[in-house]
Structure 1
Amino acid sequence: MRYGLLAIVMICAATLGGCEGVLDPKGPIALAERQILFNALGIMLAIVIPVILAILGFAFWFRASNERAHYRPDFTYSGRLELLVWSIPAMTVLLVGGVAWIGAHDLDPGKPISSTVAPVNVQVVSLDWKWLFIYPEQGIASVNKLVVPVGTPISFELTSSSVMNSFFVPQLGSQIYTMSGMATRLHLQADHLGTYPGISAMFSGDGFPDMRFTVDAVTDDNFVQWVRQVRETGSALDKQTYADLVKPSKAVAPFTYRAVAPDLFGRIVNADMGMQGSSLSICSTSRRAER
């Protein structure tokens, strides 16, 4: 009885824990992802519940006191039973796989969100151990704080300054990796005003537990006001300030930059790609020489 109550408490805690995450979507991508989870759960319950009922039914029917139950120790094979036992799980796997496959293509991170509103472009750089958000069109940047207008698609371009990392806002959806020397694409949208937690979903070193950020979904007017305020305060993000920012640090409080050096994100991405390109050209030259 005690273990049963403990199991119920743990299930309830896990369920409530998801209420502020993937089970409480605040955007179209997260909403569609939750629907995939519910569809998969419903398909799996279609086989789990009958199996549980069948186990209870077999246990009740073949109890010692039931004289009508026939004991058949020589029974070895039944084609009908084999067909039943294997067909239902096979159908379940096909259905769950189909739901996941279709959903994965519909929610491709690089696929723009259909909207009549022009998207806001944000460039994301994962650092040790903090997040840098560059607004190229507004010419500003922020650390560990992302401000976006509600109801507007956000087009992300993401990279890493060092180790591989993972960008994830559970209530907006679509976790995606950031990698040094390359840029990945992600499109999200917040449909409700509020502040949503963002996390790094991949261990990246000592400062990983504090590698968090917030996403403030505000009205269009408040977003314009925030951009204007950022432009009037703080320092500029140039080569020297970026060199200071990229140094490892933990539990960094959010702050902003009033200006950003031109094409800073592109230079961050290409910093390692140049070396990779040289290596590739050397390999190609060696192969041609061998031929």
Structure 2
Amino acid sequence: MKGRTLRRPASFLSASLMLLLSGCSNLDILNPKGSVGLAERDLIATSVWAMLIVVVPVILMTLFFAWRYRASNSNADYQPGWTHSTAVEVVVWTIPTLIILFLAVLTWRTTHELDPYRPLESQVKPINVEVVALDWKWLFIYPDLGIASVNQLAIPVGTPVNFRITSDTVMNSFFIPQLGGQIYAMAGMQTRLHLIADHAGDYAGTAANFSGKGFSDMKFRTLASSPEDFNAWVAKVRASSDRLDMDRYHAVSEPSEKDPVRYFSTVDPKLFNNIIARYNNGNVLDNVKDANCAPKG
């Protein structure tokens, strides 16, 4: 199977959670289309159900006690001298302790399994995409193909995507809910993310960190398609008359809102590194270790 997949005995519970929340159209994270997103959804569902083991009984007992010991119930035992019950103490302390231990182990495992810096295991050669957060749009550079696009990301289905992400403005956060993961885009730094789409589709991408007045429209579409359709998209981009060198980039990076999709048939191969170097006295830092402070999953 391509990509990482977490198998959990409570996977059917995640389906139940999906059913309960299916009416909420904005909860794309609960309708994953890639193995990373599926693992993250199962993690959310497993954590919620584990915590409900405590929450639901407490709610039910609160209602039961209020009814059982109401003033009008003369059959309820009145024990003003009651001070201790070993059985109650065992239940009160044992169950939460076991849940905390379970969640601790779960967190430890998934922190490593869903590490955004960890490449996906696949027999298919990954593609590389460089992402630049701008005001208020997203620039996607395909270094191996020599092309770029604004506010549109195209990827082939079943192919791991290796993202290198930075910002040429304030800090932002790169997020494709149905594919999973969310990670900061920071000026002068490069963070990384590895995703895969297991199903063809048109998925929403967004900025998940407030970045000014154009933030609400800082969105993009992720087109996951067959390799043949992806190659056709690449050919369409290469047919564009627009080219992205450093001079053209300065115009593209100017603050603007609700930008349409744009294509660039050629790209300066050093553009991404030059953007990072602007904030580091001309140096390009590899922040694979230093940027691990970025949010995971």
Structure-1-length-normalised TM-score: 0.86
Task: Give the whole-Å Cα distance in 1 for the aligned partners of 2:111 and 2:281.
Answer: 33
Does the alignment pair 1:131 with 2:138?
yes
Does the alignment pair 1:261 with 2:268?
yes
Task: Give the whole-Å Cα distance in 2 for the aligned partners of 1:182 and 1:140.
Answer: 22
Does the alignment pair 1:70 with 2:77?
yes
Query: What is residue 53 of structure 1 aligned with on the other side?
Result: 60
The alpha carbon displacement at 1:42 in A equals 1.5
The alpha carbon displacement at 1:164 in A equals 0.6
Kept in 2, the 8 Å contact 1:18–1:24? The answer is: no
Does the alignment pair 1:112 with 2:112?
no
Task: Give the whole-Å Cα distance in 1 for the aligned partners of 2:87 and 2:256.
Answer: 64
Matching of residues 262-277 of structure 1 within 5 Å:
262-274=269-281
Q: How many residue pairs were aligned?
A: 266
Kept in 2, the 8 Å contact 1:144–1:212? The answer is: yes
Query: What is residue 182 of structure 1 aligned with on the other side?
Result: 189
Does the alignment pair 1:156 with 2:180?
no
Task: Give the whole-Å Cα distance in 1 for the aligned partners of 2:226 and 2:96.
Answer: 48
Task: Give the whole-Å Cα distance in 1 for the aligned partners of 2:49 and 2:81.
Answer: 38
The amino acid that maps onto 1:95 is F
The alpha carbon displacement at 1:19 in A equals 6.5
Does the alignment pair 1:167 with 2:174?
yes
The alignment partner of 1:22 has SS state of: helix
1:147 counterpart (129, 154, 163): 154
The amino acid that maps onto 1:60 is W
The amino acid that maps onto 2:252 is L
1:196 counterpart (186, 203, 207): 203
The amino acid that maps onto 1:188 is L
The alpha carbon displacement at 1:14 in A equals 6.2
Mark the CA change 1:20 to 1:43 in structure 2 (over 3 Å): closer, same or farther: closer
2:227 counterpart (220, 223, 229): 220
Q: CA RMSD in A?
A: 2.0
Kept in 1, the 8 Å contact 2:277–2:283? The answer is: no
Structure-2-length-normalised TM-score: 0.84
The alpha carbon displacement at 1:85 in A equals 2.0
List per-residue Cα deviations over 1:129-180 (Å, max 9, x = no partner).
1000000011000000001101111110000001110000000000100111
Task: State the identity as a percent.
Answer: 46
Task: Give the whole-Å Cα distance in 2 for the aligned partners of 1:216 and 1:106.
Answer: 26
Task: Give the whole-Å Cα distance in 1 for the aligned partners of 2:25 and 2:43.
Answer: 15
User: Unpaired runs of 5+ in structure 2?
Assistant: 1-18, 285-297
Task: Give the whole-Å Cα distance in 2 for the aligned partners of 1:19 and 1:146.
Answer: 20
Kept in 2, the 8 Å contact 1:133–1:145? The answer is: yes
The alpha carbon displacement at 1:83 in A equals 3.5
Does the alignment pair 1:237 with 2:214?
no
Task: Give the whole-Å Cα distance in 2 for the aligned partners of 1:227 and 1:40.
Answer: 41
The alpha carbon displacement at 1:52 in A equals 2.4
Kept in 2, the 8 Å contact 1:180–1:269? The answer is: yes
1:38 counterpart (37, 45, 61): 45
Kept in 1, the 8 Å contact 2:187–2:276? The answer is: yes
The alpha carbon displacement at 1:16 in A equals 2.1
The alpha carbon displacement at 1:46 in A equals 1.4
User: Unpaired runs of 5+ in structure 1?
Assistant: 1-11, 278-291
The amino acid that maps onto 2:175 is F
The amino acid that maps onto 1:88 is I
The alpha carbon displacement at 1:208 in A equals 0.4
Whichever structure has more helix as a proportion of its residues is 1
The alpha carbon displacement at 1:228 in A equals 1.4
The amino acid that maps onto 2:169 is S
Task: Give the whole-Å Cα distance in 2 for the aligned partners of 1:51 and 1:36.
Answer: 23
The alpha carbon displacement at 1:275 in A equals 7.0
Kept in 2, the 8 Å contact 1:39–1:99? The answer is: no
Does the alignment pair 1:250 with 2:254?
no
The amino acid that maps onto 1:226 is W
List per-residue Cα deviations over 1:236-280 (Å, max 9, x = no partner).
100111010111111101111010012111111111112799xxx
The alignment partner of 2:259 has SS state of: coil
Task: Give the whole-Å Cα distance in 2 for the aligned partners of 1:47 and 1:65.
Answer: 29
The alpha carbon displacement at 1:87 in A equals 2.8
Query: What is residue 9 of structure 1 aligned with on the other side?
Result: none
